[in-house]
């Protein structure tokens, strides 16, 4: 199968940090179709050779195991080409159309690695140049808009030039191997499904924590914030994977139909429940023993910014399976460690005939990063006390069954962007977000955005290197629960 992959924003941060390394790994693994071409598009005038040299220099910043040798890059570079364009000018799309029509590839992927404000213009200009044929697929990066109205406007503009089956809205969390294992855990095994309901589960916690600060993304982040950047997409997609009903099959729309039902079942926000949403902003602190600045001192950030770098919230899915079970979400920058996991806390045994330490119980921890695996926490009889065997037989101690997927499978795992790019080329939509899913997610978060806009107070401060503002712990403690590191 032949393909052309056009990277709008071909010299930008996303291209060299994520997309080019992912494409190279697919090339190295032999997964990238042989008859392919990658066309970078940018404003700067440069030749193919200059573009290849630029991309080669950027690989020096990629982790060592993923850097190409000289011979590997030379072979990969044969796929790379460059075209200078002003994306806002319709006339500039004629040379691109000529370039693509000369090859007549089976599949043409247009990857919009640009600011979302350009999505509408790019799609309209593509259509005017005849670049919206049945072989064309468009990839849209997040955030798709900044609120419900802008998201709807972008989707309507794109759907005017391409049908839904040719639109790939990317959420790279869905491409993570650990998230694939989450679907496999739920729908490939019969062990947990009878327990996956309100009668046996006390609460579910989703944590996406980052040690990093702005990393030269201050200007972008200051207009986005943690709610738009992480909760509206990544965290809600994880919540859907945990909360959805089993789909009738593994087809894309069957899976996305069930995720949409979860989003529509999330309890609507009220003035009372909005008190369960905590926002924070990091101040100066220490990460791994190194002093780091506060958010307001980061490059590109407004010194008077009220943008949140931390969000914690409590919500519920109002349906028969989950009624009354609290779902807690928290995410933030400059937290104590890099960690993403889902913790499923089961209800205690209905009648305690054994003694066990306070705060212990059955829980399933699904680790997403940096570790990829499962940990099942159980209670078992501890070592016998020779002095009092009767007491020992009645006392339980926590034990853990730990499965590390990287160690178990012993092979290099396929990265998120590598998997998703290959799926786009192959036309598989399972791991991409449908427009009605996105719209429902924006509809759910918009009352939070509105409340913050009119609030007299701003985000609560927390020191870099901690787990966020203390109000986050107080919020979950009101239900007599605690975050995993506090229990």
Whole-angstrom distance, CA of residue 215 vs CA of residue 287: 14
Candidate list 81, 172, 234, 341, residue with the active-site label:
234
Whole-angstrom distance, CA of residue 450 vs CA of residue 326: 23
Looking only at the bridges linking them, the beta strands covering 3-8 and 107-112 are parallel
Handedness of CA 208, 214, 215, 220 (dihedral sign): positive
What DSSP string describes 442-485? HHHHHHHHHHHHH-SS-PEEEETTBSS-HHHHHHHHTTT---GG
**Peptide bond before 438: cis, by omega within 30 degrees of 0?**
no
Whole-angstrom distance, CA of residue 24 vs CA of residue 18: 10
**Which tokens sit at 416?**
């998120």
**Peptide bond before 402: cis, by omega within 30 degrees of 0?**
no
| Cα 5-423-125 angle, rounded to 5 deg | 40
Q: Is-catalytic flag, 29?
A: no
**Which tokens sit at 222?**
């200051």
Looking only at the bridges linking them, the beta strands covering 326-332 and 201-209 are parallel
| Cα 267-268-274 angle, rounded to 5 deg | 105
**Which tokens sit at 117?**
């404000």
Other Cβ atoms less than 10 A from the Cβ of 284: the count is 16
Contact 115, 83 (CB under 8 A): no
Distances (CA, A) of 353 to 348, 385, 388, 395: 12, 19, 18, 9
Residues with catalytic annotation? 234
């Amino acid at each position: 199968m032949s393909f052309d992959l056009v990277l709008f924003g071909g010299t930008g941060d996303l291209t060299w940090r994520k997309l080019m390394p992912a494409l190279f790994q697919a090339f190295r693994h032999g997964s990238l179709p042989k008859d392919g071409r990658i066309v970078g598009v940018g404003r700067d005038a440069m030749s193919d050779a200059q573009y290849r040299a630029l991309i080669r220099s950027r690989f020096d910043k990629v982790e060592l195991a993923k850097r190409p040798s000289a011979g590997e890059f030379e072979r990969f570079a044969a796929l790379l080409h460059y075209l200078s364009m002003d994306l806002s000018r319709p006339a500039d799309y004629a040379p691109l159309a000529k370039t693509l029509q000369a090859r007549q590839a089976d599949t043409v992927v247009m990857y919009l690695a640009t600011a979302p404000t350009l999505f509408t213009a790019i799609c309209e200009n593509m259509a005017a140049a005849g670049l919206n044929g049945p072989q064309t697929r468009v990839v849209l990066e997040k955030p798709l808009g900044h609120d419900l109205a802008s998201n709807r406007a972008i989707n309507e503009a794109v759907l005017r030039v391409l049908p839904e089956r040719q639109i790939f809205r990317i959420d790279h969390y869905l491409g993570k191997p650990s998230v694939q294992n989450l679907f496999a855990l739920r729908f490939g095994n019969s062990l947990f499904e009878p327990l996956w309901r309100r009668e046996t589960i006390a609460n579910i916690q989703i944590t996406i924590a980052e040690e990093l600060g702005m990393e030269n993304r201050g200007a972008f982040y200051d207009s986005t914030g943690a709610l738009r950047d992480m909760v509206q997409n990544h965290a809600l997609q994880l919540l859907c994977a945990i909360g959805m009903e089993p789909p009738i099959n593994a087809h894309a729309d069957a899976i996305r139909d069930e995720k949409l039902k979860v989003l529509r079942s999330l309890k609507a926000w009220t003035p009372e429940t909005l008190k369960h949403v905590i926002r924070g902003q990091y101040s100066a602190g220490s990460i791994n023993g190194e002093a780091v600045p506060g958010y307001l001192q980061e490059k590109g950030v407004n010194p008077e910014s009220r943008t949140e770098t931390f969000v914690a919230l409590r919500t519920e899915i109002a349906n028969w399976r989950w009624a009354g079970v609290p779902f807690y979400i928290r995410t933030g920058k400059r937290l104590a460690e890099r960690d993403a996991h889902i913790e499923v806390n089961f209800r205690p045994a209905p009648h305690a005939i054994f003694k066990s330490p306070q705060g212990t119980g059955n829980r399933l921890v699904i680790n997403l990063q940096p570790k990829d695996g499962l940990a099942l926490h159980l209670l078992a009889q501890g070592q016998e006390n020779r002095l009092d065997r009767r007491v020992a037989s009645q006392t339980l101690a926590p034990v853990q069954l730990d499965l590390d997927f990287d160690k178990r499978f012993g092979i290099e795992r396929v990265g998120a962007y590598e998997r998703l790019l290959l799926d786009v080329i192959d036309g598989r939509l399972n791991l991409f977000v449908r427009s009605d899913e996105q719209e429902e997610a924006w509809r759910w978060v918009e009352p939070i955005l509105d409340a913050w806009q009119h609030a007299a107070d701003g985000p609560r401060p927390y020191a870099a290197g901690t787990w966020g503002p203390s109000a986050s712990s107080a919020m979950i403690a009101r239900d007599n629960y605690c975050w995993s590191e506090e229990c």
